[in-house]
Structure 1
């Protein structure tokens, strides 16, 4: 009772919501880069929010179905084929033993989430199934999926099919404004440098991955080049010696010694993870109070967003 990996694509990883409470051991969080697409996939399947799904970066994943279940794909705009027939993203599809699922290369955005009813049955490590390659933890062997890997799941023929209306689906473009809560180390950057950071367009570099998105633009200089290492939160914006900011994401190191301008709002950090190299980022400062309100609004929206019954296949 499983799905079997025929082709894993460029980078496909098993992920639950993440490995929390383990920073004191030096273990980072991991988990889905685009939490919105991940959670909507769970809702469309009627799953618990912490079920294990596959995160596929840049597409190319092919799966052979070996049990009857309901399957859903969310995230980047990429062609989805089931037995060679085009199928909609953001929609639950019934699949059965002998079917083949193919996810093409992403056209807009870069990360998809592939789930089945109640997720894939993987043994947790340190409280989570999230795969972090640098630490060799999570997933099947602490590694990315490979041809022939078996993804255990339970059979299901009863779960209701649901669909997210086209008007409600996220749109992934090539520009994004990221809201930033300034940090106490911002005082180490002169006003001119701060204005340069917030007024300049930044380009996503080729060195953008699950650990962090390195940006390219006018160098930002502070009056210090290093600090005593301290804990790093999701979205922390480090400025290393070359002056090119790095927005740290899910697989970030747990501590670091570069000065930080602040932290990107987690909602925007998730959207940022769908940007491809060459995309443009702008930053806008917001207060902690505004950030708090934005997160509450996003949590409310995720609970209230309507789902509908799709046409019969």
Structure 2
């Protein structure tokens, strides 16, 4: 089967689960900005974990030349096939020759399209994930974002039987992408270098997502928080690390972050909340609350076990 990109939208990439464990070699982690939506898209399309898919900002349009099964997920996602609106977070049969249009109703958030099958895309450093900043991955291997006219070959998925029951994630189990609840933060190495006043300011203030956001990091604007550290050695940066540069405005490090950084860090966004934050758009306000690491670990185990249970019920 061949997939042809008719319209790339604002910014669309081929992504998979990223270059896990390769930061030590100087490569960024990469991977999906919203890993929850990515995982559900592949599951609903009958794919194995880690199968490539499309991550799109804006409305993306494609054509398929064979029958296939697809799934679209994300924050307020939309999907239509040949002009007919279809349900998201659900397996969908698509006939040969059909045009698929998908995106998000909220401009700037990410939508994910998984297509059932084995994707024939080149891998670089063990991953097909596109990193524009590193000029790595993608169809050409040079980190280029998708463009109109690009074609991707996908072979049939032997795991999909003709009698397979289509999969649906019930609405009550879809992630809540609102920000009424605070983003949980696990204190980091330099936590004690921030004064009690600075920490209290951070927890009690609302921060606005600025327009300076990308796959590398989210810059926030709001009340200034500063550490007592003036100079420090660069160290490894984890997904969700909240760096505080000299201006006191926090930066949350995302999937395509650099491997090392020399700014003090308040802590790290909980892995339970990083996908929600990754779907924020400029102008939205977020709040933070510190959480003990053992509580964060328990929340993570509960979330992952809940997902596996749900998947078992859907099968």
TM-score bracket for this pair, using the shorter chain length = over 0.9
> Which residue does 2:225 correspond to in 1?
220
Cα distance in 1 for residues equivalent to 2:39 and 2:175: 13
Q: CA deviation at 1:174?
A: 5.0
2:161 to 158, 163, 171: 158
Count matched residues: 308
1:143 aligns to 2:137 (yes or no): no
CA contact (8 A) 2:104 2:110 kept: no
1:32 aligns to 2:32 (yes or no): yes
Cα distance in 2 for residues equivalent to 1:226 and 1:115: 45
Q: Secondary structure at the match of 1:180?
A: strand
Q: CA deviation at 1:304?
A: 1.1
> Which residue does 1:264 correspond to in 2?
269
Q: CA deviation at 1:108?
A: 7.7
Cα distance in 2 for residues equivalent to 1:104 and 1:271: 17
Superimposed CA distance per residue, residues 80-100 of structure 1 (whole angstroms, 9 cap, x where no aligned partner): 110000001111111122100
Matches within 5 A, 1:192-271: 192-271=197-276
CA contact (8 A) 1:212 1:252 kept: yes
Cα distance in 1 for residues equivalent to 2:138 and 2:5: 13
Q: Secondary structure at the match of 2:148?
A: coil
Q: Secondary structure at the match of 1:267?
A: coil
Superimposed CA distance per residue, residues 231-261 of structure 1 (whole angstroms, 9 cap, x where no aligned partner): 0011110000110000101011000100101
Structure 1 residue ranges (4+ consecutive) displaced by more than 3 angstroms after TM superposition? 155-159, 306-309
Matches within 5 A, 1:12-27: 12-27=12-27
Structure 2 residue ranges without an equivalent (≥5): none
Q: Secondary structure at the match of 2:61?
A: strand
Q: Give me the TM-score of the superposition, normalised by structure 2.
A: 0.93
Provide the aligned C-alpha RMSD in A: 1.7
Structure 1 residue ranges without an equivalent (≥5): none
Structure 1 residues 287 and 88, CA, compared in 2 at 3 Å: closer, same or farther? same
